[in-house]
Structures are given as C-alpha cells and as structure tokens.
Amino acid sequence: MKLKLNNMVAVLGLAACSLTAQAQSVKIGFLGTLSGPAGALGQDQYDAFMLGVEHMGGKLGGATVQVIKEDDQLKPDLGVQMAQKLIEKDKVNIITGVTFSNVMMAVHKPITDAGVLLVGSNAGPTPLTGKGCSPMFFSTSWNNDSLHESMGQYANDAGYKKVYLLAPNYQAGKDAISGFKRFFKGQVLDEVYTQVNQPDYSAEIAQLQAAKPDAIYVFYPGGMGVNFVKQYQQAGLLGKVPLLSTSTVDGTTLPALKDIALGVVTGSPYSPDIDNPQNKKFVEDFKKKYNRSPSLYAAQSYDAAMLINAALVKTGGKADNKDALRAALKSAEFKSVAGPFKFNTNQFPIRNFYRVDVAKDASGQAAFVNKGVVLKDHADAYYKECAMK
Amino acid sequence: MSLSLFLIQMLNGLQLGVLLFMLSAGLTLVFGIMNFVNLAHGSLYMMGAYFAAAAYARSDSFIIAALVGIIGSAALGFAIERIVAARLYARDHLDHVLATFGLILFFNELARTIWGASPYYMNVPQALSGTINLLGISYSAYRFAIIVVGLLVALGCYVLINKTRVGMLIRAGSSNPTIVAALGVNIKLLNAAIFALGAALAGVAGLMSGPILSVQPGMGEPILITAMIVIVIGGIGSVRGAFYSALIVGVIDTAGRAFLPMILREFLDRSTAQAAGPALASMLICIFMAAVLALKPQGLFPVKNQ
C-alpha cells in the first residue's frame, strides 16, 4: 500500500517536472559523429554550436535552450536509434548537426516524418537536394556536389588539362568525384575509390605517379586526409604535382599536418580569415575557448545556431508551432560568418565558394589563407528537381 | 605498366608486410601460448605511436621518441598482463574478447582525453625525409627505413626464439604450456614477459607508422583486423608463420589495390570496373584467408606437436 502511494507520488512529481520543463525551454538535439577517426568533425560542430548559444547568453530567440548531445559513431543504424531517442524520449523541437552523409541518408526520413525540424550543418547528400527534398529539412552547409564543383571550376581556371581523382568508396566520395567532373572540362585520367578509413595509400600514390597528371583532386575527410597528405608529401609529390582537395586539409586536420601541408589548394565555403565582423568575433572566441582554429564544420554549425536564433526571434521564442517555426527558418535573416547567405527553394544555401590555400601566415605558422572566390552565389545543380518552389 | 611501377608496388607490399609482422608477432604468441585472445593489441600499437609522437614533439629526437615508445608499450603490456589478462587465462575465449574489447574502449577514450580527438602531429625525422635510389627507382627513404627496421626485428625475433634459453621456453610454452609449468619454470613471469615483448613489438610498429599514418584515437582497430587475418593464415602461435603470412598478406593487399582495378578494366566496362575494383581489392585478403582455412585449417606454417 505504502509502496503504491510512493510510486504514485513519484510519477506525479515526474510528470509535473516534465510539464514545467516543456513550457520553459526549447529542446535542441545535436546528433553528430563525436568518436572514432572522424570524431573531430562532429566535435567542431558541437563546440561551435555551443559557442553560438553562449554568444546569445544561453538563450536562442529569447527562449532558454537545452542542447542534448548524441553520438552516432559514424554508424547509420546507431544514428537512427539516437534520432528516435531524441524525438521520442527527449521530445526535442529541432535536431541539428549530422556530420556524415551515410548517417544523414538514414536519419533524414525518420526525423522529417516525425515532424521534427532538421537543421543539417554538414552532410548534404545529393538525393536530398532534388526529389528527396523536404520542407522540414534546412541545410547551413552545402550540397556535397557543390563543394567539389568549385574545385572542378578552379582546375579549369588554373589550366590543368589532365587530372587524377581519388576518394573513399562511399556516397560522399562518389558525390565528390561526380561534382568535380560536372565542372571540370579537361581529361580525367582515372577515378580511384579507396576503402573508407584505409590507412596506407602507397599503392595508389605509386599508380598516380605513373599516370603523370597535371594535378590531382582528392576528397579524404578526417584521419584519411592526414594519412594521404603525409604520404603524398613523403613521396616527394606535393611540390611537383599540385594537390587540389576539399574537406581533406581542413581545420580539424591541419593541426596534425602543420608544415607538411604547405602548398595544398582547397575549396571551401569558409576560411577563418574571411573579413566580416561576425567572423572576426567567432574566430577569436572559438580560439580562446577551445584552443584551436575553427574549421568549416564549426563555421557551418555556428551559422546553424545563429539561424535558429533568428527564427526563434521571429516566433517569439516559441517552438511548438512547427509551421511558424518553419517559415521563420526559411526567411531567416542572419549574418553568416562565411559571407553572403540565403536559402534556395530546396532549403539549401546559395553561397560563395572560395579557393583557400595552406600557406604561412603572419606568425610563420601553416594556416588557411583565402585566395578569392571561385564560385559566386552558387546554387546546387538539383534544386529544380525539388517539388518545393 | 612499367617495371619500375611494379617494383615500387612490391616494395610497398613488403613495407606493409613487415609492419603487419611486427603487429602480429605479439598477437600470435599471446594467443598461442597463453591461449588468450587479445583484442587490445591494436591499442598497444596506438599507445606506442602516441608515446613516441609526444616524446618526439618534446625532444625533437627520433631516437629518444623510439625508446620512449618501445619502453612505454612494453610497460603497458606488462601492466595489462598482470592486471587483466592473468586473471582470465582459465576462462572462455568470449570472456577474453569482452575484457580486451573493454580495454580498447578505455584506451581510445584515454587517448582522446589526453591528446584530443583530432589527429596528433608527427613528422618524419629530417634525416629520412627524402627519397633514395633503389634499383633505378626513387623510393621514399622513410618507408625503406621501415622495411629495414622490420627485417631487423624479424631477425631479432628469430635469434631470440631459436638461439636463446628464453626462446626455448617460448617454443616449449607454445607446444605444451602445462608441462612447462610443471617443469618448475616461473610461468607467471614468462607469460608477463611474453606479453610485454608482444606489446613492445606492437609499439615499434606503432612508432614507425606514426610519421606516415594519422596518429589518432582508434587508429589501431583497422590494422588489428588485418593482423588477425595474418595470424590465422600463418598459424596461431607460430612467429615464423606470422612472418611469412604477413609478407604474403602485405603483398597481396598492395598488389590487389594497385593492379586489380586495372585488370578488371580489361574485362568490364569502365564504371563497373571502377565500382567493383576497390570492393574486390578490399575483400582479397579475406578470400585468401578463407581459401587457406579450407585447404590447411591449421594455417600455412603451424606450430608442430600442437
């Protein structure tokens, strides 16, 4: 009898707590790859998002924000599990983050079908830009292809006639190669797909050396990039055959490469030295708080926090009316750290892509240096296939 | 496809092979003598790399870094044996797997906590940063150094196991551990020493890989899988078997990745070949292992009198 009474009191107490919690705060779920070889990317996204919340004084749009962090470990099935946990158990209003494309492809439908808004700040797989687009999905990053189209364009501008391509054997790797080829007008000597997380590229580097290309283009995120660039430089090729890349030498991998990566040309929607006031503040505070320079993943995630803030300002801090929040997100007028930003009809950004080199900065350290815009106000190639207008 | 390209790929295969040997020698000894499945061997490889990278960053001397890496991983191996492994010898393999899998998670988190989630910087020592001329081709000096170190380590293991008293005890323990204990040998010390030796070898593999591979949490797992394939092909408990099968696996894997896509393109259209090539290349060593197990289940060079 006593036990039953205790139980009832406990249950009522819990119910009361959860009710009051709902009324006071907006719950945001952060789902990213926080462990394993690619963990640094998700970590950058999370740290930048939290910095954004901190800049807004712990509130977004005036509402107290509770960010619940979950790690998908780069496993799509685990990503779905974590997403379901965030939606059903934590009852989040928005989910943000999602580092890798394979996880994004798995969680996109469950999240959008459940009526929860998904603000992706990195992965932008092609199927979601066209026919698979959804009104519940916003991206503050890019369509995977666009990132690589910029380097294809740059290869043309630089006059390279024969290029050799390498990428890992998964969706984003395939998007990388097809995106590059869409804009590149010269001859592709070969496209090589290596195993994901393959540590040693000596065989592939020897093959490409024998093919004698004008330049090579690679897409190797995380530790794969560190491995490849190290080995490419040791084979004596870095000075001889230009290395074009995206997401290979970036803010998360440059600290492991330092001077080894000098001379690498990258295509990126962001560079820490972009000249606008919000970026200056972002880079300075990120360096102070986390003791490292922000990568493009951090910048995109910070933008996501600012986007959500701007949208919540419009809805008066309320997240329960999904349609109002959606409309607010779509129109969101916020200032991106990476330059001009607005949403296309498929809710992917229209933005600039820059050529960013690895060179010595004023203090003699290897750093990212913005060398100019390659593609201005660039939209992805698939937005016309999206049903949203 | 020129002769020089073929030679370079063979050297690459040899380099991968000696690295695999250093990693699998310890694994096969521990499995063969103590009958202990040590999944944390990849973590010893990782810690060897981290110790060396951290020491190299502070001292700027690769020799000091190498010593720190070797002694550090040997000490770590000794500690693991005393604290975790010794209590579990009598238990089922599944318990070994559970315990050492837990160790993997522990060491990965430890590396992340101490050195961060991003890859750690480690460069090739200045003296080995160029290329050397070998049989008319230009090959990376550092990779050649790995081959030399690996072969020296293999020679050292051969001398240790075949020409010394300790080696005699190891060989005896490999064939029949119970009798060895019954003969009055301090089996506890011997087991700990074997574990530490295996850990030191993994540490050498780790510190040699550091400059060319990414030093990061979780770097041990991909190569651990390949090491397990190597010891299964070579025969559990046989260091000689580990040596030969490591070389075979190294060459097959490298040649597969280098030449298979090219060969496939002769028979299939370009896009199919490009899709099938890498998939088949990564399966090649597993297919080879399956074939060996089908024909010689004990491995190619098994320990006799098992």
Q: Name every residue in A having a CB less than 8 A away from some CB of B.
A: 34-37, 39-40, 43, 169, 191-195, 197-200, 202-204, 206-207, 210, 222-224, 226-227, 230-231, 234-236, 252-253, 255-260, 292
- Percentage of residues in chain A with pLDDT exceeding 90? 57
Q: What is the pLDDT of residue A31?
A: 96
Q: What is the pLDDT of residue A3?
A: 58
Has residue B278 got a pLDDT over 80? no
- Percentage of residues in chain A with pLDDT exceeding 70? 94
Q: CATH topology of A24-142+275-351 equal to that of A145-268?
A: yes
More confident residue, A79 or B278: A79
Chain A interface mutation, best of B214, B253, B270, highest count of A Cβ atoms under 10 Å: B214
Q: Which of A227, A255, A260 sits opposite B118 (nearest CB)?
A: A255
More confident residue, A228 or B173: A228
- Percentage of residues in chain B with pLDDT exceeding 90? 48
Interface touch B117/A34, C-beta < 8 Å: yes
**Neighboring chain B residues of A40 at a CB cutoff of 8 Å:** 116-119, 216
Q: What is the pLDDT of residue B4?
A: 82
More confident residue, B164 or B281: B164
Task: Count A/B contacts: CB-CB distance under 8 Å.
Answer: 123
pLDDT digits (tens, 9 = 90+) for A240-291: 999 999 989 988 888 888 888 999 999 999 999 999 999 999 999 999 999 8
Has residue B224 got a pLDDT over 80? yes
pLDDT digits (tens, 9 = 90+) for B16-35: 999 999 999 989 888 888 88
Q: What is the pLDDT of residue B114?
A: 93
Span A339-367, mean pLDDT? 90
Is B209 within 8 Å of B21 (Cβ atoms)? no
3-state secondary structure chain A: CHHHHHHHHHHHHHHHHHHHHHHHEEEEEEEECCCCCCHHHHHHHHHHHHHHHHHCCCEECCEEEEEEEEECCCCHHHHHHHHHHHHHHCCCCEEEECCCHHHHHHHHHHHHHCCCEEEECCCCCHHHCCCCCCCCEEECCCCHHHHHHHHHHHHHHCCCCEEEEEEECCHHHHHHHHHHHHHCCCEEEEEEEECCCCCCCHHHHHHHHHHCCCEEEECCCCHHHHHHHHHHHHCCCCCCCCEEECCCCCCCCHHHHHHHHCCCEEEECCCCCCCCHHHHHHHHHHHHHHCCCCCHHHHHHHHHHHHHHHHHHHCCCCCCCHHHHHHHHHHCCCCCCCCCEEECCCCCEEEEEEEEEEEECCCCCEEEEEEEEEEEEECCCCHHHCCCC
| Per-residue confidence band for B90, with pLDDT thresholds at 50, 70 and 90 | confident
| Per-residue confidence band for B239, with pLDDT thresholds at 50, 70 and 90 | confident
Has residue B97 got a pLDDT over 90? yes
Chain B interface mutation, best of A234, A253, A259, highest count of B Cβ atoms under 10 Å: A234
pLDDT digits (tens, 9 = 90+) for A81-112: 999 999 999 999 999 999 998 899 999 999 99
Q: Which of A169, A197, A258 sits opposite B278 (nearest CB)?
A: A169
Has residue A202 got a pLDDT over 90? no
| Per-residue confidence band for A21, with pLDDT thresholds at 50, 70 and 90 | very low
In terms of CA atoms, which chain B residue is nearest residue A209?
Answer: B5
Q: Is B133 helix (H, G, I), strand (E, B) or coil?
A: strand
Q: What is the pLDDT of residue A9?
A: 58
Interface touch A230/B219, C-beta < 8 Å: no
Chain B interface mutation, best of A228, A230, A262, highest count of B Cβ atoms under 10 Å: A230
Has residue A33 got a pLDDT over 60? yes
Q: A171-185, B122-136, B239-253 — which is least confidently predicted?
A: B122-136
The average confidence (pLDDT) of chain A is 88
In terms of CA atoms, which chain A residue is nearest residue B19?
Answer: A200
Q: What is the pLDDT of residue B1?
A: 64
| Per-residue confidence band for B178, with pLDDT thresholds at 50, 70 and 90 | confident
Q: What is the pLDDT of residue A36?
A: 75
DSSP state of B129: S
The average confidence (pLDDT) of chain B is 88
Q: What is the pLDDT of residue A23?
A: 44
Q: What is the pLDDT of residue A12?
A: 59
Q: What is the pLDDT of residue A22?
A: 44
In terms of CA atoms, which chain A residue is nearest residue B117?
Answer: A40
Q: What is the pLDDT of residue A5?
A: 63
Interface touch B213/A203, C-beta < 8 Å: no
Our CA-based measurement puts residue A209 at a distance from the nearest CA of chain B, in whole angstroms, of 9
Domain ranges for chain A: 24-142+275-351, 145-268
Q: Note the pTM of the prediction, 2 decimals.
A: 0.79
Span A312-340, mean pLDDT? 88
**Neighboring chain B residues of A191 at a CB cutoff of 8 Å:** 274
- Percentage of residues in chain B with pLDDT exceeding 70? 99
Q: For the domain bounded by A24-142+275-351, which CATH number is listed? A: 3.40.50.2300
Q: Which fold has domain A145-268?
A: Rossmann fold (3.40.50)
Q: What ipTM was predicted for this assembly?
A: 0.74
pLDDT digits (tens, 9 = 90+) for A142-181: 988 888 999 999 999 999 999 999 999 887 888 899 999 9
Has residue B154 got a pLDDT over 80? yes
